[in-house]
Structure 1
Amino acid sequence: MKATLERTDLLKSLTHVHRVVERRNTIPILSNVLIRADGGELRLKATDLDLEISETVPALVEAPGATTVPAHMLYEIVRKLPEGSQVVMETSSDQATLEIRAGRSRFALQMLPESDFPDLTAGDFSHSFEVAAADFRKLIDRTQFAISTEETRYYLNGIYFHTVESPNGARFRAVATDGHRLAQAEVAAPGGAVGMPGIIVPRKTVGEIQKLLDEPEANVAIELSETKIRLTTGPVVLTSKLIDGTFPDYGRVIPQGNDKELQVERAEFEKAVDRVSTISSERGRAVKLAMSEGRMVLTVNNPDSGSATEELVVDYDAEPIEIGFNSRYLLDIANQLTSETAIFRLADAGSPTLVQNSGADDTLYVLMPMRV
């Protein structure tokens, strides 16, 4: 194998691909990136057996072939090469090392045979559709923070994507919850998505997809089976296993009868929560919201360090109520809201609260209260 290509192209591709590779691997081949040179392009592929990313870059291929070399080592080498340099990759005559040359720099990396490299992409995909990268990114951005990190409830360790029927037509919806808060976002369902199986995309895959969707004008081709998802955007193809589990009936958690409505200036509220929570303990993080006509008082009490209060002017005319929340969860939700005014719909101190943007919107958040 012998190929020559631009360092910038190679680095961009390796940045996408090498992140999948775990730093510590008991299976040596999983530490490597597969490099295949053929027909005017170089294809790079890496996997951790649950997630696989491959990308093609243009190259001058003098001798086609394929091999595997340590992914993180190759990435560091290419990252440190001079900008604008041409990189030559060539297997040695004894097929033991991959030689990398750029300017006066020379490297030789130990190789493992291409035949040992696992392939995740086998199998049929029953559903396929295209969605705007900006829409898909929005669904992930608005819900990702609520993914559970509790490994015992593995079916919550990802985002649940599915389609639902609504008065406005079919919607493509993303939901994540950790049992303390729930995030839901939706966009108009793209053609081909209706009837797709509900899928749970794992947390690591969600993070990698987020990094790949950096061109909002682009489209993402999505293919689904019962066990896998494959995304194609430009020269990048990501294939991932799905979480094999049943996502809970989240509709039962979304409150329908919360009749106390509060409107507050979002940025002011976010800053006030951030300020008073400075006092809160790492373990507690509780902030009490006391609502009465036209005002909200935020209070934090920490027996070890002191207390803090702040008052905000709000639009509220229901009966007074006091309710406690985890301040970090409040900040996470406030950070995702996009309108100038945040709307809280409350029932009582022990029931979940609904938080939304003002105006017609396709995101909603549910927050469970804390005892304070």
Structure 2
Amino acid sequence: MKLEIDKRDLLGLIGKTQNIVEKRNTMPILVNVLLEADQNSLKVFATDLEVSLTDQIKVQVHQAGKVAVSAKSLFEIAKELSEGPITLIKKENNWLEIKQGKYTSKIVGISAEEYPIFPTYNSQSFMTINAQTLKEMIDKTIYSVSNDETRYHLNGVFFELSPSTGFKMVATDGHRMSLVNKPVSEVKVNATQGVIIPRKGLHEIKKILEGIEGNVEIAIEGSQFVLKHSSTILMIRLIEGKYPNYQQFIPQKLPQKVMINRDAFLTSLKRVSLLANTKSKAVLLNLSNGRMEISSNNPELGDAKEEIEVDYSGGEIKIGFNAKYITDILTSMQHDKIDFELNDHLSPGLMRPHNDQSYTCVVMPMRI
């Protein structure tokens, strides 16, 4: 294998694989990417057996061939080289020689035949979705994904779609839940029972979606979620298991309704929570006519409180929440006004952007 590739093209190609390659030593081979030069293109393959990516770019190929090398080493070397063409040459011992001007280096490689069998797909039923819509849906749910490995079915976002209800994403860790629903535009959509996409796969989807203005193609095939855009193909192994009935977590007919300025609420929460318990992040919200007092108390650090104006005319409510859960929700919302619906100090609260039913967040209260 011998080829010439521009530095920017090589960095763009290998950069996409950096978070996919396995950094733990359970399978040392997974720190490598597979490079395959054929005719006038260079293809790259990267996998950790759960998330797999393949991409290609046109290059000047002098000799076809393939080899697997360390993704990190190749990326770090290319990053330090000068702008312009770089020559890659596979040597007889599967080492990869990297040349530019008077610079030469060789990195240890392995035979392409030793690289794990790369997943494939043959789905003919791809659907299209706007790239920024998909990214927005991930941003509005991924923070609620559970970190509890014993509840593996909650370690991802539940994704379902149908021609009638559109695209829907849900995430919960048992303390909070995020649900976002987007209508289907004039595109082909196939109904699905719903699948669970793991957190790591969602982060890789977000990376690909950065800067894409148009549509991307997605498909669900067996135990895989497939995303395509241009020459990039991302395949994600879905989490097996039954997702809980999230509809039952959404409280109905909450009598106390508050409208709050998002920025004022967010900045106040951040200030007051600085002196909250470092583990629980507990803050107390005290609601009365036209005002909300936010307070925190930590015997080891001190206490803080701040009052903000709100649109509220109900009776007095004192309710505790984990401040981080609320700030995560507010950060994910772009509206100026937030609707906050409550019942009592023991019942979950519901938050939505003002007059927007497409995004629903539920958060459990805390005893303070």
Q: Aligned partners of 2:162, 2:104: CA distance in 1, in Å?
A: 56
1:152-171 alignment runs, 5 A limit: 152-163=150-161, 169-171=164-166
Moved more, 123-132 or 71-80: 123-132
Does the 8 A contact of 1:170 with 1:194 survive in 2?
Answer: no
Indicate the SS of the match to 1:121. coil
What corresponds to 1:10 in structure 2?
A: 10
Q: Distance in 2 between matches of 1:230 and 1:337?
A: 28
Match of 1:57? 57
Q: Indicate whether 1:187 and 2:185 are aligned.
A: no
Q: Give the C-alpha shift of residue 239 in structure 1.
A: 0.8
Of stretches 271-280 and 188-197 in structure 1, the one that deviates more from structure 2 is 188-197
- State the match for 1:19 in structure 2: 19
The answer on 1:262 being equivalent to 2:258 is yes
Q: CA deviation at 1:336?
A: 1.0
Deviates more, 1:308-317 or 1:297-306: 297-306
Cα distance change of structure 1 residues 254 and 164 upon mapping to structure 2, 3 Å threshold: farther
Cα distance in 1 between the residues matched to 2:39 and 2:183? 39
Secondary structure, aligned partner of 2:274: coil
**Is residue 127–residue 196 contact of structure 1 (8 Å, CA) maintained in 2?**
no
- Give the secondary structure class of the aligned counterpart of 1:267: helix
Alignment check: 8 A CA contact 2:155 2:198 kept: yes
Alignment of 1:44-193 (within 5 A): 44-82=44-82, 84-92=83-91, 94-125=92-123, 127-163=125-161, 169-189=164-184, 191-193=187-189
SS in 1 for 2:16: helix
CA contact (8 A) 1:17 1:55 kept: no
The CA RMSD measured in Å over matched residues stands at 1.5
Q: Is the 8 A contact 2:94 2:111 kept in 1?
A: no
Question: Structure 1: where are the runs of 5+ without partners?
Answer: none
Instruction: Name the counterpart of 1:208.
Output: 204
Deviation at 1:364, TM superposition (A): 1.1
Shift of 1:24: 2.8
TM norm structure 2: 0.96
Change (3 A) 1:26 1:286: closer
Cα distance, 1:91 vs. partner?
1.4
Q: Mapping of 1:351-366 within 5 angstroms?
A: 351-366=347-362
Q: CA deviation at 1:164?
A: 5.2
User: Displacement of 1:107 after TM fit?
Assistant: 1.1
Q: Indicate if the aligned counterparts of 1:127 and 1:223 stay in contact, CA closer than 8 A.
A: yes
Q: How does 1:197-236 map to 2 (within 5 A)?
A: 197-236=193-232
Distance in 1 separating the partners of 2:59 and 2:306 = 61
Tell me the CA shift for residue 216 of structure 1: 3.4
AA aligned opposite 2:145: I
| Deviation at residue 220 of structure 1 after TM alignment | 1.2
Query: d(CA) in 2 for partners of 1:15 and 1:96?
Result: 22
1:218–1:233: 8 Å Cα contact kept in structure 2? Answer: no
Distance in 1, Cα, partners of 2:333 & 2:318: 23
Q: Could you tell me how far 1:70 is from its partner in structure 2?
A: 1.2
Q: Does 1:245 align with 2:245?
A: no
Cα shift at 1:234: 2.1
Equivalent residue pairs, number:
367
Partner AA of 2:59 in structure 1: A
Alpha-carbon distance in 1 for matches of 2:45, 2:18: 8
Distance 1:176 1:286 in 2: 22
Contact kept in structure 2, 1:172 and 1:193, CA below 8 Å = no
Q: Distance in 2 between matches of 1:121 and 1:98?
A: 25
State the secondary structure of the residue aligned to 1:18.
Answer: coil
Superposition deviation, residue 205 in structure 1: 0.6
Name the CA distance, whole Å, in 1 between partners of 2:113 and 2:327.
49
Query: Matched residues in 2 for 1:342 and 1:273: separation?
Result: 14
Task: Give the letter aligned to residue 240 of structure 1.
Answer: I
Using the size of structure 1 for normalisation, the TM-score is 0.95
C-alpha separation in 2, matches of 1:5 and 1:62: 11
Q: Look up the match of 1:278.
A: 274
Amino acid at match of 1:321: I
Q: Partners in 2 of 1:27 and 1:253 — Cα distance?
A: 40
Other structure's SS at 1:317 match: coil
| Whole-angstrom CA distance in 2 between matches of 1:370 and 1:294 | 23
TM superposition shift of 1:217 = 1.1
Distance 1:29 1:305, change over 3 A: closer
**Secondary structure, in 3 states, of the residue corresponding to 2:355?**
coil
Q: Is the 8 A contact 2:127 2:190 kept in 1?
A: no
Alpha-carbon offset, residue 125 of structure 1: 3.6
CA distance, structure 2, for counterparts of residue 187 and residue 120 of structure 1:
33
User: Which stretch shifts more, 126-135 or 324-333?
Assistant: 126-135
User: What amino acid is aligned across from residue 333 of structure 2 in structure 1?
Assistant: L
Q: What's the secondary structure of 1:73's corresponding residue?
A: helix
- Deviation at 1:119? 2.8
CA distance in 2 between counterparts of 1:364 and 1:192 reads: 26
Residue in 2 that maps onto 1:38:
38
The alpha-carbon deviation at position 126 of structure 1 amounts to 7.2
Task: Tell me the CA shift for residue 140 of structure 1.
Answer: 0.4
Q: How far, CA to CA, are the matches of 2:293 and 2:231 in structure 1?
A: 52
Does the alignment pair 1:337 with 2:355?
A: no
